[in-house]
Amino acid sequence: MKRFLTGLQPSGKLHLGNYFGVMKKVLEYQYNYDFYLFIANLHSITTFQDKNTLLENTYSAVCDFLALGLEPKRCTFWIQSDVPEVTEITWYLSMAITHDHLIRAHSYKDKVEKGIHPSVGLFIYPVLMAADILTFDTDVVPVGKDQKQHLEFARDIAETFNRKFGEVFKIPEPEIDEDTAVVLGIDGQKMSKSYNNTINLFDDEKKIKKAVMSIVTDSAGVNDIKDPDSSIIFSIYSLFLDESERRTLRERFLKPGLGYGDLKKELFQKIMDYFAPYREKRNEYLNNLDYVEKILQEGSRKAKELAQTKLKQIRNILGLERQ
Ligand code: ADP
Ligand code: TRP
């Protein structure tokens, strides 16, 4: 069975864009592949270093995954910083890529262009990512388009290392979902934390209602015919509907009698109902962090076992093991 591995940074509150854009798909991998998933908190600290927020976001990401259906028995699930063998491997891999090559990273260049004075940590971010992938003999890495170049670095690093020292690393294949639909925010731009236009899965009812009621609409009245294809509500509502329900909603747009206010209330209820069981589970996990810790320990134990074998092999090759 192919090994799939991916990492997600703990970035705070999940919104509909994160869920329908990536999480839903990631959760499916556990049923079809040997699936490895970790919370990339070491990558987060390249841009962000507040202790309490990081801890909170890390637990939040873990509980999000567990509540939304990740089954720890079906996959290996851990927190990146719990397997420090990978950071040691990062050091060894940093010799398998040149400064000239790494400086071409788009994400790094973008940050520099924005005026950020980059740390060395930010610069070698892709090397840590390569170590995340290569340590575990990963076959396939599902990532978003923005991570495509980082995957190429990982492959280059593996090839350079293998050329020098023999077949140590598997060359990973990216799986880039080119046609992931972009989930629209309440203002019609891409839904994103940075645009302040999100509907968050687990916010309290009041906040979700406020966000849904602020979805931007045109000025069509109840008795006007409305265009579903240019409608932000139609687009967001559709996330929760199957084909035939979507057709029915489209017909409602095309007939007089549909008021945006009522439709928003309906959508709000739909969102609450859809996530209610997940919300309940999430609260159970958050109130039972000892149990969550056990899951994470088991995950890092499994990840560590592989990482230690790979680390020993590399140390041996490099002349760092003395019996
Ligand atoms: P944000 O833009 O809110 O900061 P992140 O960058 O933390 O979101 O995104 C985490 C993951 O969710 C990424 O893989 C990203 O591609 C996906 N994602 C974020 N927003 C959307 C969206 N509006 N539609 C589809 N996928 C999204
Ligand atoms: N850099 C990735 C992101 O920001 C997260 C990540 C870290 C990752 N290590 C990884 C993704 C290894 C895939 C494989 O989205």
Please report, in tens digits, the pLDDT of each residue of the chain (323 residues total): 999 999 999 988 999 999 998 899 999 999 999 999 999 999 999 987 799 999 999 999 999 999 999 999 999 999 999 999 999 999 999 999 999 999 999 999 999 999 999 999 999 999 999 999 999 999 999 988 889 999 999 999 999 999 999 999 999 999 987 767 789 999 999 999 989 999 999 999 999 999 999 999 999 999 999 999 999 999 999 999 999 999 999 999 999 999 999 999 999 999 999 999 999 999 999 999 999 999 999 999 999 999 999 999 999 999 999 97
**Using one digit for the tens of pLDDT, what is the confidence trace for 108-127?**
999 999 999 999 999 999 99
CATH of the domain at 222: 1.10.240.10
- If asked whether residues 166 and 261 sit together in one domain, one would say no
What pTM was computed for the model?
Answer: 0.92
**Residues in Cβ contact with 212 at an 8 Å cutoff, skipping those fewer than 6 apart:** 186, 199, 264, 267, 268, 271
Q: Count of domains in the chain?
A: 2
CATH code where residue 57 lies: 3.40.50.620
17 lines ligand 1 (CB under 6 A): yes
DSSP structural state of residue 19: I
- Flag whether 188 is in a domain: no
Looking at the structure, tell me whether residues 112 and 254 fall in a common domain: no
Q: Whose CA is nearest to atom 11 of ligand 1?
A: 18
* Whether residue 206 sits in one domain with residue 166: no
d(CA 91, CA 95): 7
pLDDT, residue 323, reads: 77
> What pLDDT is stored for residue 250 in this prediction?
97
Domain containing 31 equals 3-182+289-318
Whether residue 257 is contained in a domain is answered as yes
The CB of 129 under 6 Å from ligand 2? The reply is yes
Site to probe by mutation for ligand 2, drawn from 25, 29, 43 as the one with most ligand atoms within 8 Å of Cβ, is 43
Question: Domain for residue 144, yes or no?
Answer: yes
Active site residues: 111, 190, 193
Neighbours of 58 (CB within 10 A): 20
**One domain, residues 207 and 313:** no
CA of 190 to the centre of ligand 1 (A): 9
187 domain-assigned: no
Q: What is the pLDDT of residue 41?
A: 97
Domain membership flag for residue 53? yes
Looking at residue 132, what is its pLDDT? Answer: 98
- For position 176, what pLDDT does the model report? 87
What is the C-alpha separation between 255 and 64, in angstroms, rounded?
39
- Distance (angstroms) between ligand 1 centre and the Cα of 192 equals 6
Indicate whether 20 and 108 sit together in one domain.
yes
What pLDDT shows up at residue 197?
97
Distance in angstroms (rounded) separating the CA atoms of residues 182 and 28: 19
Residues with Cβ within 8 Å of 317's Cβ and at least 6 positions away in sequence, in order, are 165, 166, 168
What is the spatial distance between Cα 226 and Cα 231, in angstroms, rounded to a whole number?
Answer: 8
Q: What is the pLDDT of residue 261?
A: 96
Cβ–Cβ < 8 Å for 120, 184:
no
| Pocket probe mutation, ligand 1, options 192, 201, 203, 232, max atoms within 8 Å of Cβ | 192
Is residue 197 domain-shared with residue 272, that is, in the same domain? Answer: yes
